[in-house]
């Protein structure tokens, strides 16, 4: 009985250590993922609470008090985050890929997957909290200016936040992962450029709505750009194939080296 009890304690301890190790290895995706969920929930609650009470008239004093500071804060936050982090990653880049061990390289591939997991979480929040809300908003309120509660959240924060994450991620991958150093991943570049170019498409969209489409029609030609540029996400498929193939090679090589060493 004593032996069985000791084995049970050892097994429980091993299980706890595995769980602890899992959370330690994936603390980025859990921590950053929780942060973006909290931001998305906060913006949604603010939209539901303030959107119709003080957000229907851009020219009102209440709109200037409750919504324009949100807009300015978003632009400053995203701009600063992208520029500062991208500059830091470039200035601290690694130039000699041979100094990066296979184990470290494999770890960085897992970090890549963590980054894309957080982006996927944020993308889901955009679809749930912003896109449909914006279309519904224009169906029930009079279109006034480019600045509405839903626009301030989706056009000036939610979608640009994807670019704010993608650009530093692109720099990090191409300066830290040997398979991508001193070259450009076309699928990764296509994803970054496609999402980035959605932003100037906002201007075209609002110009069209101002002069041609007062109603928010889903099939309006001025919306075609969003669909076409959104298709850039299809390039995540060949990018995933690149990542998986490199990881498979590294796992095979490190496993073989481990057997030889033992």
Q: What are the tens digits of pLDDT across the range 64-105?
A: 999 999 999 999 999 999 999 999 999 999 988 888 888 899
Domain 34-261 superfamily per CATH: Particulate methane monooxygenase subunit c2. Chain: C (1.20.1050.50)
60: left (phi over 0), alpha (psi -120 to 50) or beta: beta
Instruction: Characterize 15-29 residue by residue with b for buried, 16 or more Cβ atoms within 10 angstroms of its Cβ, and e for exposed.
Output: eeeeeeeeeeebeeb
Query: For position 193, what pLDDT does the model report?
Result: 92
Mean pLDDT in residue range 6-27: 60
Report the predicted TM-score, pTM, of the whole model to 2 decimal places.
0.84
Residue 191 vs residues 6, 170, 185, 187: alpha-carbon distances, Å: 53, 10, 10, 6
More confident residue, 103 or 146: 103
The count of residues in the chain is 262
Residue 171 structure tokens:
């720099």
Helix runs in 55-93, H state only: 61-66, 68-91
Q: How far apart are CA 231 and CA 32, in angstroms?
A: 26
Residue 219's pLDDT is: 74
Quick one: pLDDT at residue 143? 62
| pLDDT at residue 16 is higher than 70 | no
Neighbours of 7 (CB within 10 A): 10
Q: Which residue has the higher pLDDT, 220 or 56?
A: 56
Average pLDDT along the chain: 83
């Amino acid at each position: 009985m004593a032996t069985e009890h000791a084995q049970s304690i050892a097994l429980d301890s091993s299980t706890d250590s595995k769980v602890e190790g899992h959370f330690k290895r994936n603390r980025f995706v859990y921590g950053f993922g929780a942060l973006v969920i909290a931001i998305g929930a906060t913006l949604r609650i603010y939209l539901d609470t303030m959107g119709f009470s003080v957000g229907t008239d851009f020219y009102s004093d209440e709109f200037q008090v409750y919504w324009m500071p949100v807009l300015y804060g978003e632009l400053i936050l995203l701009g600063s985050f992208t520029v500062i982090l991208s500059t830091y990653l470039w200035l601290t880049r690694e130039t000699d890929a041979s100094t990066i061990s296979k184990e470290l390289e494999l770890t960085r591939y897992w970090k890549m997957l963590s980054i894309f997991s957080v982006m996927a979480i944020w993308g889901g929040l955009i679809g749930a909290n912003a896109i449909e809300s914006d279309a519904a908003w224009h169906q029930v309120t009079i279109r006034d200016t480019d600045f509405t509660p839903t626009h301030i959240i989706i056009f000036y924060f939610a979608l640009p936040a994807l670019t704010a994450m993608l650009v530093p991620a692109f720099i990090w991958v191409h300066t830290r992962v040997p398979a991508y150093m001193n070259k450009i991943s076309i699928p990764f570049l296509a994803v970054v450029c496609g999402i980035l170019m959605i932003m100037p498409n906002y201007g075209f969209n609002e110009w069209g709505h101002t002069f041609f489409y007062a109603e928010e029609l889903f099939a309006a030609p001025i919306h075609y750009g969003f669909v076409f540029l959104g298709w850039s996400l299809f390039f995540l498929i060949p990018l995933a194939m690149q990542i998986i193939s490199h990881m498979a090679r590294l796992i095979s090589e490190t496993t073989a080296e481990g057997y030889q060493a033992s």
